Chains A and B, each alone.
Chain A
Amino acid sequence: MSAQPGGTGLPGAVWQRVRIGTGLLPIVAALVGIWLVLGAINPAFLAPENLVNLTLQSAPVGVIALGVVLVLLVGEIDLSVGSLSGLAAAVVAVGSVTLGWPVALAIGVALACGVVVGLGYGALSTRLGLPSFVFTLAGLLFLAGVQLRVLGPLGSINLPFESWFVRSVQQGFLPAGVAWALVVAVVVASAAGQLAARARRRRADLACASVPQVAVRTFVLAAVLSLVVAYLYLGSARGIGYSVVLFALLVVVTDVLLRRTRWGRSVRAVGGDRRAAMLAGVPVRRTVVLCFVACSTLAALGGVLAAGRLGAANQGTGGADTYLVAIAAAVIGGTSLFGGRGSAWSAVLGVLVIQSIANGLTLMNVDQAARYMVTGAVLLLAIVIDMLMRKRREA
């Protein structure tokens, strides 16, 4: 039987899109369900002002979760992202306030801490072959200690409210006009990209999406983005914060890197089957090290954003449940704990699920205890689904 390019049945590219789409669809449905339930119990949850708050609460931990997605994809884990984010926050505060550095320099140093820690983890993993669960657990404790030492005896340092950094994180919002212009630009770019890809595939005599399919996808994208922007700028709602814009931008860039570059392909291959990837000539060590570095740097950035949002850095920044929330978010969003499968968007969806539950329960005056229990139950559900899907695939 000869293989015909673009044989009968649904064309390959379309299937691939469908597969990616269906991977995220259950979690999108779950998120909508959670919103409807929380909104039905307390309508204040769905108020535009509250949803703006929700996005602002989600951005710092979302950036951390995005990094966690990368290490999970490559089949590793990083438990120290919370401590590292706390350390980064402390470095920004101590650098800019106590030592009087320019804020930009302090942020740069904080991010550099992330890079150094990531390189260290990469070396421990690829050179010594240590399990990441263990050495990042050590890192969790060690970095928490460094954070306390950096903060010094005061334990808490306030950032000046008038600094550009705090102002833009706390009060910086995209003007509505700019937000709408961005929506138009994104939709046009997406449609143009899809049509160009379609034209190339047609010329190469490969299966390609039909024009109606492109139209439907473009329409759905335009509708979702318009709805989000229209809702977040409704009435007195402040709109889309700069930290949220940064988070979204990082997710889009990471998504493109993962799906459309050699590096991204290496990440999925190494996470899926490390030995096979090595035999196929994939630079396994480099891929793993880069994932650790990206994760640690994003964790540091998340800590910087958290400091800006709080206007301070203290001993609790990045402590308690930060790392658990970030890892849980990545897994709830559909990134497998077993490596190889996942998407940058799972950071967005997972964080929205967790923060929606936290935000909604807080509005209902439910205590921290119930919040933990509900989030734990959702995480368990997500892992069970991950496991079942893995079993079904291997059956």
Chain B
Amino acid sequence: MSGPVLSLRGVSKRFGGVRALVDVDADVHEHEVLAVVGDNGAGKSTLAGVLAGAHRPDAGQVLLDGRPVLLDSPAVARSLGIAAVFQELALVDDLDVVENVFLGHETVRGPLLDEVAMEREAWRLLDQLAASVPEVREPVRTLSGGQRQVVAVARALLGSPRVVVLDEPTASLGVRQTAEVLNLIVRLRERGHAVVLVSHQAGDLQAVADRILVLRLGRVHDVFDGDASYEDLLAAMTGAVRPGAPHRRGQR
């Protein structure tokens, strides 16, 4: 396997007195789903935010293809091929599906928007995700939770980013919709994207993750292979140590 696309080296981030991330190392490869799990407050969303350019680390480096990069804003990360789907999805309810997918990256034809090209591309992205969005000119407010998730992912895929960061994509979804989103993630991996999947639902992740990074109190507690047992993950997340865990690599 080639080297990692995106790496964190010794990344720390604090919010006031709270140490959200402490000296975190992580690597993301193409054709791979890296899951990040942890209990509430373990620093998962902060880690996603650092990768996506929403948070700037206080210390440490973000490396893209081995070279340090400065991710100032989601727009900068985006331009470097790192797209994120945030927990709150960041969709504008009053805008329709096409407008949301292209928000901030609209196609223009001369001085005016090229609605035809955008509508076609939106259909192409949604088809590629085998999405069940019936109509792209309806405000996203009218869509179901799963459909909104699909729209947010479609937006992330615009311009074929190399890394897709998904923050808690299944948190607000039902059983069937969760399965749809997990299918979507497998499809992203098959298409060669590097996927970072942040979740606290350890059970969901085992289905799709190639590697599972466990955060606890802002530190990387452990990295498991994708077939780690539920008990091991739970133990690592909560700190209830289970001696002799088989997949433990003893990173730290």
Residues of A participating in the B interface, judged by any CB pair closer than 8 Å: 1-3, 5, 7, 9, 12-13, 15-16, 197, 200-201, 204-206, 256, 260-262, 265-266, 268-269, 272-273, 275-282, 340-341, 393-394
Contacts and interface: CB of A to CB of B under 8 A. Distances in A.
B103 A280 contact: yes
Given A280-B104, A281-B74, A269 B95 contact: yes
A206 B94 CA distance: 22
A276 B91 contact: yes
Interface stretch (B129-137, B220-228, B233-241): B129-137
A12 B135 contact: yes
B92 A272 contact: yes
A204 B92 contact: no
Nearest to A17: B137
A14 B117 CA distance: 17
Contacts of A277: 92, 103-104
Contacts of B117: 204
B51 to A, nearest CB: 14
Nearest to A271: B94
A269 B120 contact: no
User: Which label, helix, strand, loop or mixed, suits the secondary structure of the A interface?
Assistant: helix
B75 A281 contact: yes
Given A268-B94, A276-B92, A281-B78, A2 B130 contact: yes
A256 B116 CA distance: 17
A262 B106 contact: yes
- Going nearest first, the 6 A-B pairs with the smallest beta carbon separation are A12-B137, A281-B104, A279-B90, A281-B75, A276-B90, A280-B103
B76 to A, nearest CB: 9
B19 interface: no
Interface stretch (B5-13, B22-30, B107-115, B198-206): B107-115
A16 B111 CA distance: 21
B103 A3 contact: no
Nearest to B99: A265
A340 B92 CA distance: 9
23 contacts: A1-B132, A5-B120, A12-B119, A15-B135, A15-B137, A15-B138, A16-B137, A204-B120, A260-B113, A261-B108, A265-B113, A268-B95, A268-B99, A269-B104, A273-B90, A273-B92, A279-B86, A280-B74, A280-B92, A281-B74, A281-B104, A282-B104, A340-B92
Interface in B166-215: none
Contact of B106 (A9, A15, A265, A394): A265
Contact of B113 (A261, A269, A273): A261
A273 B93 CA distance: 8
A9 B113 CA distance: 25
A7 B126 CA distance: 14
A265 B161 CA distance: 23
Contacts of B44: none
Contacts of B108: 261-262
A12 B90 contact: no
A201 B117 CA distance: 9
B88 A272 contact: no
A130 to B, nearest CB: 22
Contacts of B120: 5, 204-206
B90 A280 contact: yes
Interface string B32-48: 00000000000000000
Contacts of B119: 5, 12, 204, 206
A276 B89 CA distance: 8
B65 interface: no
Contact of B134 (A3, A201, A273, A341): A3
Contacts of B164: none
Contacts of B116: 197, 200-201, 204, 206
A206 B130 CA distance: 19
B55 to A, nearest CB: 12
Contact of A7 (B86, B92, B113, B135): B135
